[in-house]
Chain A
Amino acid sequence: MAEMKTAAYICSGCGLGDKLDVPQLAKIAQKEGKMALVREHDFLCNAEGVQMIRDDIEKEAVTHICIAACSRRAKTEAFNFPSVAMTRANLREGVIWVVSEGADHDEVRQEMADDYVRMGCAELKKAKMPEGNPNHTHLKNLMVVGGGVSGMTAAFEAAETGYEVILVEKQAQLGGWADKLWKRVPFKAPYAEPQDTGIAELAAKVSSHPLIKVCLNTTVAETSGAPGRFAIKLAQESGAITEVSAGAIVQATGFTTYDIAKLPELGGGLENVVDHAGLEVLARAANGGAIKRTDGREIKSVVFLQCAGQRDDTGQHLPYCSGHCCATSIKQAIYFKDANPEVSTVVVYDDLRVPGMGEDFYRSAQHKGVIFAKGKASKVETAGTGCRVNYRDLILDADSILDADLVVLATGQVPSSGVNVVEWDRLTKEADGGSVEAKQQKSELKNISILNLTYRQGPDVPKLKYGFADSHFICFPYETQRTGIYTAGPVRRPMDILQATEDATGAALKAIQAAENASLGRAAHPRAGDLSYPIVRLEGCTQCKRCTVECPFGAIDEDEKRFPVFNEQRCRRCGTCMGACPVRVISFENYSVDTVGNQIKAIEIPDEFSEKPRILVLACENDAYPALDMAGLSRIVYSAFVRIIPVRCLGSVNTIWITDALNSGYDGVMMMGCKKGDEYQCHFVKGSELAGYRMSKIGDTLTGMGLEPERVSTFEVAITDNAKVAGFINDYVAQLVEMGPSPMKGFN
């Protein structure tokens, strides 16, 4: 690499020149920042300004540039110089837009800007231009596990996009649950009549597609590797093993129905009580004619009981709503009405919820004479030749009875999500401790595994609530905690055929993106396209295993000597390993303990008599930093005593930064990250949680240093919290002012 040559560019546009002493900033960049080249410009992001920087890169051989202008999140298209390392000093959103107006505040405003320029230059000296993971991969094909609606759709959509697909199905034919249906809920106007499922056509299209290889009667015996280089062993029913490879994986393993035998009070187990799947069997047998029971008797009256074993708050059954059951019961009631309008069909529901255009379908059933009774069934028993449903009518507030030839229980979807890796982890620890029982349980658990991953974190993707495969429903629905493996369909949340179709299409596209990024040595979601990757200095490693354990994505394996082995393609570049490492041997080219540490040390700390506290803010760049930028954009004023450093994730915060900051005389440290816990919003799943945990441990250290534990505080900031975040800062600064200056001041 060519010799490092630094340059700083200071913009005076957007009012920066009016509010700040730009020549002074230039002097700081030159004298303190030791930049080889310092230029001022009154409109840096226009064509002329950008050309000036380009010319310097080309003619002056500048390799490192610091742009002191707006936030790093602004003008990214203008300031796009892929051939050099770059830092940004945020003088606009971070200083002039958030510091109070007026000459009274000129001094603190200028100090803030001075510090940001110092920080930008300090960071620059430690940063390198990321060159991308040298271990490029070449596989771009997908493996889709599961041949139901979701799996077939994912395979077909990916193949239509031009990617090869291996479709693995456990059964002897494609189709899954949907193939067992007589008809499906309508997707198109007028949403009035049940439709043909279309599964046979889809299966035929998939089977005959030149880019799709369908493996029936097959399960996944082992999955190893990483995005772009998954090595998979497929097991046929015969026991034969085939080895294949894939660039990314879509897991569309669907669901099983909740066992009605677990619902004896609702007649589960009685002869004339079936679930939705059971009724589909009868409807298929009837083939459009009168629907008959298994004993051959024509059904003249039928009662559907909604939410059977679902939305249960007693803890015995499924606590959630499966979403499709209302529309499914409506559809099945229409089966009866279409075959014979005289059949009495009653749907006993607590809340009828028909998402999408289902209201029209509901109305259609009412037109056909299906009766809907708001009530809660308490007991189903055999009566005469049929069943008697005892229920509480919730409108009339009275106990009521319905007699019917057949009772249909609307049971829920139970995800086929394989092994619970938390359970697996527990058993692994117990088995390692010598427990024979745990070892036995572990091998039993292994039987239900779907992907049989060789990852140290367990054989399947982690589960979130209620056993569904992890995903962030709102922001990144398909992402699991295993990079390059995407879940689609009812395995990640309950859904119907239409939703599963859309879901599978999205997951297929994400899988393609992951394989493509891996082939270019870049990160996948959420830092898609990031060329930096974790570099570990193994000679300094103490084999403490904290990085391997704490990596939220299972990207780090261990070799036989217990050194970490990075699977960079699995890595999401959050830096949690870097934050975890007690000996600080893990870094990224443009983000390391030094790039942030240097910024922390670059700031000028006023003495304890100045009444100017300094607070370090480590802000998550996914939510907290944008919220701070938005505060600037909305001209929400916050204290000029804070110095904000964006971090990739709070999980990447190394405690050395906190210690360094407090030792150099900062009065306090604010850590702003995403919401943690069950409803987490952390883009890297558990970064903010880990940070919270780590910080909970440093209270004693602080007390040992003679400092109040409140000098380090964590805050949860969502991306929309622009007003709230300014409040956090102002309140915290007020708290610190009351507490008095840090006793550590002046020791350096």
Chain B
Amino acid sequence: MSELNQKAVAKYQNNFLKEVEERVEDGEWVSMCMQCGVCAGSCPLGPHWEHSPQKIFRMIMAGKRDEVLTSDSVWMCTSCYSCIVRCPRKLPITHIMHGIAHYAHRLGVAPKGQPTRELASVFWKNLVKTGRVNELKFSLAVYFKDGFSQGIKNLLGMQGIALGLVKAKRLNPMEIIGGHKCKDVGGIQKMLAKAKEIEDRRQGYTS
């Protein structure tokens, strides 16, 4: 955790719940969980998580800061919204999961090499460059994230699908050079930088 981050969270001492309530998007809902377990039972990915949303909420209340923020589980949410639909206490569970993931990422404590996190990072970088997602470059960046030889293997594995997409005019090989972009790339980038600045200030990451 960076020094600024440490400073920002220092005031919460042992009260992780309060930290979540104040700093995680929709975090103020966590304390309304009544531990019924409907979210855990509804989650289609349930068996593949280490911690169900129910457990994540309980861990937050029990002050298990490190376990929550480094948990792989919050990254596993596919946003199917089954939990939100079914929660008897109307907690926006999907949003809270994303909120926690985002918060852990911003603190720099999210699990390294977590595929969802890496994919999201690549996606974001790709997007802010031109204001448009360049699918070809995005796919290549994902394939080659684990080195050159793995990248070639990934490419060969996907070539059938890629050729099909080209044939169906869903993938333009020319995108590799420059690619399409929005009208005012500079404007978009400035806008995003400003938004980040505002958020960082609000969250206390910058003074």
B-contacting residues of A (Cβ < 8 Å)?
352, 362-363, 366-367, 369, 371-374, 393, 395-396, 400
Contact at B17–A395, with CB atoms within 8 Å? no
B139 at the interface (CB under 8 A from A): no
Nearest neighbor of A368 in chain B, beta-carbon distance: B31
- 23 residue pairs A–B, Cβ–Cβ below 8 Å: A352-B34, A362-B34, A363-B32, A363-B89, A367-B31, A367-B32, A371-B17, A371-B61, A372-B34, A372-B35, A372-B61, A373-B58, A373-B62, A393-B58, A393-B62, A395-B35, A395-B55, A396-B55, A396-B58, A396-B59, A396-B62, A396-B64, A400-B62
B203 close to chain A: CB less than 8 A: no
Encode B72-92 as 1/0 by CB contact (under 8 A) with A: 000000000000000001000
Leading 3 A-B pairs by shortest Cβ distance: A395-B58, A366-B32, A374-B35
In the bound complex, CA of A393 to CA of B51 (Å): 14
Give complex CA distance A174, B89 in Å.
41
CB distance from B154 to the nearest CB of A (A): 38
**Complex Cα distance A372/B57, Å?**
11
- CA distance in complex: A3, B160 (Å): 111
A373-B58, A396-B55, A396-B59 given. 11 additional CB < 8 A pairs? A352-B34, A362-B34, A366-B31, A367-B31, A371-B17, A371-B31, A371-B61, A373-B61, A374-B58, A396-B62, A396-B64
The residue among B17, B58, B89 with the most chain A CB atoms within 10 A of its own CB is: B58
How far is it, in angstroms, between the C-alpha of A352 and the C-alpha of B33 when the chains are bound?
13
Q: What separation, in Å, do the CA atoms of A374 and B31 have in the docked complex?
A: 13
A373 to B55, CA, bound (A): 11
Chain A: which residue is nearest B29 at the CB level?
A366
In the complex, what's the smallest C-beta–C-beta distance from B47 to chain A, in angstroms? 16
- A16: min CB distance to chain B, Å: 56
In B78-130, which residues have CB < 8 Å from any A CB?
Answer: 89
* Contacting residues, chain B, for A374 (C-beta < 8 A): 35, 58
Please indicate the chain B residues that have their CB under 8 angstroms from the CB of A369 in the complex: 31
Which residues of chain B have C-beta atoms less than 8 A from A366's C-beta? 31-32, 34
Name the residue on A nearest B37 (C-beta). A395
Give the complex CA separation of A362 and B55 in angstroms.
20
- Please tell me if B54 contacts chain A, counting CB pairs below 8 Å: yes
CB distance from B124 to the nearest CB of A (A): 33
**Chain B 27-76 interface residues, beta-carbon cutoff 8 Å to A:** 31-32, 34-35, 54-55, 58-59, 61-62, 64
Task: Tell me the chain B residues, 1-31 only, with Cβ under 8 Å from chain A.
Answer: 17, 31
Instruction: Please give the distance in Å from B28's CB to the nearest CB on chain A.
Output: 10
Give min CB distance, B67 to chain A, whole Å: 9
Identity of the chain B residue whose Cβ is nearest the Cβ of A397 in the assembled complex: B55
Closest Cβ–Cβ distance, residue A593 to chain B (whole Å) = 60
Secondary structure of the B contact surface, majority rule = helix
Nearest chain B residue, comparing its CB with the CB of A374 = B35
Please, which residues of chain B bring their CB within 8 A of the CB of A352? 34
Interface residues of B (CB under 8 A from A): 17, 31-32, 34-35, 54-55, 58-59, 61-62, 64, 89
| Chain B neighbourhood of A371, CB < 8 A | 17, 31, 61
For the complex, give the distance between the alpha carbons of A367 and B91 in Å: 13
Bound complex: CA A352 to CA B36 (Å): 10
Q: Given the complex of chains A and B, what is the CA–CA distance between A352 and B35 in angstroms?
A: 10
Cα A620 to Cα B182 with chains together (Å) = 87
Q: Give B17's nearest chain A residue, CB to CB.
A: A371
Chain A residues closer than 8 Å to B55, beta-carbon distance: 395-396
Of B34, B54, B59, most buried by chain A (CB within 10 Å of CB) is B34
Closest CB in chain A relative to B40 CB, distance in Å: 9
A372 to B31 Cα, complex, angstroms: 9
Tell me how far the C-beta of A440 lies from the nearest C-beta in chain B, rounded to whole angstroms. 53
CB of B73, distance to nearest CB on chain A (Å): 13
- Taking CB atoms, residues of chain B closer than 8 Å to A400 are 62
Nearest B residue (CB) for A346:
B61
A746 to B104, CA, bound (A): 95
Determine the distance from Cα of A192 to Cα of B114 in the docked complex, in whole angstroms: 43
CB-defined contacts of B62 to chain A, threshold 8 Å: 373, 393, 396, 400
CB proximity of B43 to chain A, nearest CB, Å: 15
Closest to B28 in A: A367
The CA of A362 and the CA of B33, in the complex, are separated in Å by 11
A396-B32 Cα distance, complex, nearest whole Å: 18
How close is B11's CB to chain A, nearest CB, in angstroms? 13
- Chain A residues lying within 8 Å of B34, measured Cβ to Cβ, are 352, 362, 366, 372
* Beta-carbon nearest neighbor of B40 in chain A: A395
**In the complex, chain B residues whose CB is within 8 Å of the CB of A362:** 34
Q: What residues on B are CB-neighbors of A372 within 8 Å?
A: 34-35, 61
- A128 CB to closest chain B CB (Å) equals 63
A373 cross-chain contacts in B, Cβ below 8 A: 58, 61-62
B203 to chain A, nearest CB (A): 22
The CB with the most chain B CB atoms within 10 A, among A352, A373, A374, A395, is that of A395
| A369 to B17 CA separation, bound complex (whole angstroms) | 10
- Taking each of B17, B32, B62, B64, which has the highest tally of chain A beta carbons within 10 Å of its own beta carbon? B62
Per the bound structure, the CA–CA distance linking A352 and B34 in Å amounts to 9
- Nearest A residue (CB) for B15: A344
Shortest Cβ distance from residue A138 to the other chain B in the assembled complex, whole angstroms: 57
Q: B64 — which chain A residues lie within 8 A by C-beta?
A: 396
Q: Tell me, rounded to whole Å, the shortest Cβ–Cβ distance linking B15 to chain A.
A: 8
Docked Cα-Cα span, A369 to B55, in Å, equals 18
CA distance A362 to B35 in the complex (A): 13
Closest-by-CB residue of B relative to A370 is: B31
CB closest chain-A residue, reference B64: A396
**Complexed CA–CA distance, A366 and B64 (Å):** 19
- B58 surroundings in chain A (CB, below 8 A): 373-374, 393, 395-396
Closest Cβ neighbor of B67 among chain A residues: A396
User: From A349, which residue of chain B is reached at the shortest CB distance?
Assistant: B35
When chains A and B are docked, how far (Å) is the Cα of A362 from the Cα of B61? 16
Given A371-B17, A373-B61, A400-B62, A395 contacting B54 (CB threshold 8 A): yes
Which chain B residue shows the least CB distance to A363?
A: B32
Give the residues in chain A near B17, CB-CB below 8 Å.
Answer: 371
Complex CA gap A275/B175 in Å reads: 73
Residues of B within 8 A of A395 (CB): 35, 54-55, 58
CA distance A496 to B102 in the complex (A): 46
CB distance from A353 to the nearest CB of B (A): 12
**Cα–Cα, bound, A367→B59 (Å):** 18
Q: Which residues of B contact A363 (CB under 8 A)?
A: 32, 89
For the complex formed, measure the closest distance between the CB of A398 and the CB atoms of chain B, giving whole angstroms: 9
Assembled-state Cα–Cα distance A374/B17 (Å): 16
How far is A372 from B55 in the complex, measured between Cα atoms in Å?
A: 13
CA of A634 to CA of B89 in the docked complex: distance in angstroms? Answer: 44
C-alpha gap A474/B185 in the complex (Å): 74
Bound form: Cα–Cα A373–B60 in Å: 11
Separation of A352 and B58 alpha carbons in the complex (Å): 15
Give the distance in Å from the alpha carbon of A393 to the alpha carbon of B61 in the complex.
12
Expressed in whole angstroms, the Cα–Cα distance for A116 and B139 within the complex equals 91
CB distance from A396 to the nearest CB of B (A): 6
Separation of A338 and B13 alpha carbons in the complex (Å): 23
Measured between C-beta atoms, what is the minimum distance from A574 to chain B in Å?
Answer: 47
How far apart sit A662 and B35, CA to CA, in the bound complex (Å)?
63
Which residues from chain B contact A396 at a C-beta distance below 8 Å? 55, 58-59, 62, 64
Complex CA distance for A366 and B54, rounded to whole angstroms: 16
State the CA gap A485–B112 with chains docked (Å): 74
Bound complex: CA of A363 vs CA of B32, how far in Å?
Answer: 7
Q: How far is the CB of B95 from chain A (nearest CB, A)?
A: 18
Q: Which residues of A contact B31 (CB under 8 A)?
A: 366-367, 369, 371
- Give Cα A395 to B51, complex, Å: 10
In the complex, residue of chain A having the shortest beta-carbon distance to the beta carbon of B52: A395
Shortest distance from the beta carbon of A344 to any chain B beta carbon, whole Å: 8
Closest-by-CB residue of A relative to B31 is A366
In angstroms, Cα B17 to Cα A363, docked, is 17
Candidate in A363, A367, A372 with the most chain B CB atoms within 10 angstroms: A372
Nearest-CB residue, chain A, relative to B59: A396
Q: How distant is the Cα of A374 from the Cα of B64 in the complex, in angstroms? A: 15
Report the separation of the CA atoms of residues A400 and B32 in the bound assembly, to the nearest whole angstrom.
Answer: 21
- Report Cα–Cα, A498/B197, bound state, in Å: 56
Bound Cα distance from A595 to B54, whole angstroms: 68
B93 to chain A: closest CB distance in Å? Answer: 15
